[in-house]
Structure 1
Amino acid sequence: MVKIGCSSLFFWEYDIEEIVDIFLELGLKNMEFFPENPEFWKKRNDLDYINSVKSELSKLEITIHSPYIELNSSSTNENIRYVTLMETFWAIDLSKKFNAKLITIHAGKRPTHRVPTDEEYDNFDDYLKKSIEYALKKEITLCLENSPEKINNICYNVESMKKTLYKFEDLYITLDIAHARENSLDFIKNFHEKIKNMHISGVNSKDHYPLSESRINFDKTLNLLVNEYGYKEALNFELNDLIYKKSLSKKEKMDILTNEIHYLEKIIK
């Protein structure tokens, strides 16, 4: 059986203990934990706090998403590249401490709105080489998330992902179906053996809408992966509360997620 979960960022305004309680109440089995949750980020160097969070997160299966806000492993600025690598190492250590088996990272990108050059790819390859080596030492699986389709992004299509995976046999995939959009079936067919984690959401005017409101139907994509290829890892909802015209209450968010869980269960049953 797959493990249905959700990103902690959908409940970013609550403390970790409350987020865990919400997940347990909804019957979720997995959490993709974003350490850039505001409360956690401010206290991440407090060992007592980290241990208390570890105790709470032990009630669920956990995957970790490496920090990515303001970071770029392909940056022309060597200081940004260095910080990106150090934050990834920190997140790998955090994964080990929280007993998470895998961590999701983002691909690099050209800082300007232009097609990436060999320099951006070389910087990204150097980051991957060092990150994979460190993850292997810590016995953590490193999963690369496919990027949204933008001119300056690396690994937003099947060809670019193939090019990267060919170089790094110990690298796996977190497939974000909203990023893949109409190409999600091609990603499944080409990489089903490499997919170890999933981000589930729909596409409407923007990415990360509820799956039930998506203008792109992902039923075939999810059925193919789960029922044809036997995927048994996490299916994590990654929903964006900014798509709504008002701030959502906790109950409203829980109701949205409950509806999404039921919708997903019908697709993959």
Structure 2
Amino acid sequence: MIRPGVSSMFFHEHPIDEIFSSVEEAGLSGIEFWVETPHFWLRGLPLADIDAAVREHPALSPISVHAPVLDLNPCSINPRVAMASVQYAVEAVDLAEAVGAAVLTVHPGRRTARRSPSAYDYERFEGYLSRLGEAAGGKGVRVAIENMEPRVNSLLCSPGAVREVLDEHSWLWFTLDVAHAMNASPQGVIRYIETCGDRCANVHLSAAMDGRMHLPVDGDRRIATIIRSLADAGYDGPLTLEIDDQAFSRPLSLEEKIGILRRQRVFIEDCLR
């Protein structure tokens, strides 16, 4: 059964226990915990805090985890940046396993220059996947790579490119980012579902319009079609709302964020009826 959830980064300024409580109060059944959630990241990654939150909110289990990506690039031309980026992703595999997460989402990286990826960039990318595959071996967490926006220096920004990587790496799964795919065209999302749906382990759900991304989904007919297409394709994993709280005209209170998530949940449930 599809499990509507939300990224912890929607509650960017809140502590871990408050984030989990708010997600449950909104009636959602899952959470994708970003390792870079400030209350966790800036306090030395206290794993016990996530463990406690997971135990106190069993209705949200199994959670998902998003590996660190801010300021990082595993395909960077700078070898130290690339090394640090790969190491953070590898450590996130262990973290996800430790908290009982079902899925860990990772980003593919990008060419540092704003030019089409070169053979050198793909060589770095393959080295990155090799390290991730070694780290994931024997663990219960699914490592899922995310499609990126269709930019000139993106490595994975088309259904065909993602499918090729999935076919080459049988251990690897896929996180479909709807807003990234919609930035090309709404129909592009459907092509991702048709091409890569059999390996989809997570979906980042948000709308994109006029160059703006990670918008709320309620009332969006394009999103309704996508949700129904996922269900028709047999998808039964996390449906992770990835909404940017900075996309609103003013700062939101905690109560307002919970109310927004309730509306998204009702919309998703209506689409699945």
User: For the superposition of Structure 1 and Structure 2, which TM-score range results when normalised by the shorter chain?
Assistant: over 0.9
**SS of aligned partner of 2:175:** strand
Q: CA deviation at 1:102?
A: 1.6
Task: Assess if the C-alpha contact under 8 Å between 1:16 and 1:53 holds in 2.
Answer: yes
Q: Does 1:15 align with 2:20?
A: no
Partner AA of 2:250 in structure 1:
K
240, 261, 264: which one aligns with 2:268: 264
Taking every aligned residue pair, what percent have the same amino acid on both sides? 28
Residue aligning to 2:31: 31
Q: Does 1:251 align with 2:251?
A: no
Q: Does 1:187 align with 2:188?
A: no
Residue aligning to 1:99: 100
Once residues 38 and 253 of structure 1 are traced to their aligned partners in structure 2, the CA distance between those partners, rounded to angstroms, is 18
**SS of aligned partner of 1:211:** coil
**SS of aligned partner of 1:196:** strand
Residue aligning to 1:239: 243
Q: Which runs of 4+ in 1 moved over 6 A?
A: none
Q: CA deviation at 1:212?
A: 2.3
Q: Does 1:230 align with 2:227?
A: no
Task: Assess if the C-alpha contact under 8 Å between 1:204 and 1:213 holds in 2.
Answer: no
213, 228, 231: which one aligns with 1:207: 213
**SS of aligned partner of 2:105:** strand
**SS of aligned partner of 1:53:** helix
Residue aligning to 1:112: 113
Once residues 23 and 70 of structure 2 are traced to their aligned partners in structure 1, the CA distance between those partners, rounded to angstroms, is 24
Once residues 236 and 163 of structure 1 are traced to their aligned partners in structure 2, the CA distance between those partners, rounded to angstroms, is 25
Question: Where do 1:120-199 residues align within 5 Å?
Answer: 120-181=121-182, 182=186, 183-199=188-204
Once residues 151 and 35 of structure 1 are traced to their aligned partners in structure 2, the CA distance between those partners, rounded to angstroms, is 28
Q: Please list every run of 5 or more consecutive structure 2 residues that lacks an aligned counterpart in the other structure.
A: none
Task: Assess if the C-alpha contact under 8 Å between 2:90 and 2:131 holds in 1.
Answer: no
Q: Does 1:53 align with 2:50?
A: yes
Q: Write the deviation string for residues 157-194 of structure 1: whole angstroms up to 9, x where unpaired.
A: 11211222222111110101111112000000111110
Once residues 141 and 113 of structure 1 are traced to their aligned partners in structure 2, the CA distance between those partners, rounded to angstroms, is 31
Once residues 68 and 213 of structure 1 are traced to their aligned partners in structure 2, the CA distance between those partners, rounded to angstroms, is 30
**SS of aligned partner of 1:44:** coil
Q: Write the deviation string for residues 192-232 of structure 1: whole angstroms up to 9, x where unpaired.
A: 11001111111123111001265x71222221211x22211
Partner AA of 1:185 in structure 2:
I
Once residues 74 and 243 of structure 2 are traced to their aligned partners in structure 1, the CA distance between those partners, rounded to angstroms, is 25
**SS of aligned partner of 2:101:** coil
Residues matched between the structures, number: 264
Once residues 69 and 35 of structure 1 are traced to their aligned partners in structure 2, the CA distance between those partners, rounded to angstroms, is 10
Once residues 229 and 19 of structure 2 are traced to their aligned partners in structure 1, the CA distance between those partners, rounded to angstroms, is 31
TM-score by length of 2: 0.93
Task: Assess if the C-alpha contact under 8 Å between 1:202 and 1:213 holds in 2.
Answer: no
Task: Assess if the C-alpha contact under 8 Å between 1:202 and 1:212 holds in 2.
Answer: no
Once residues 24 and 164 of structure 2 are traced to their aligned partners in structure 1, the CA distance between those partners, rounded to angstroms, is 40
Partner AA of 1:262 in structure 2:
V
Task: Assess if the C-alpha contact under 8 Å between 2:10 and 2:244 holds in 1.
Answer: yes
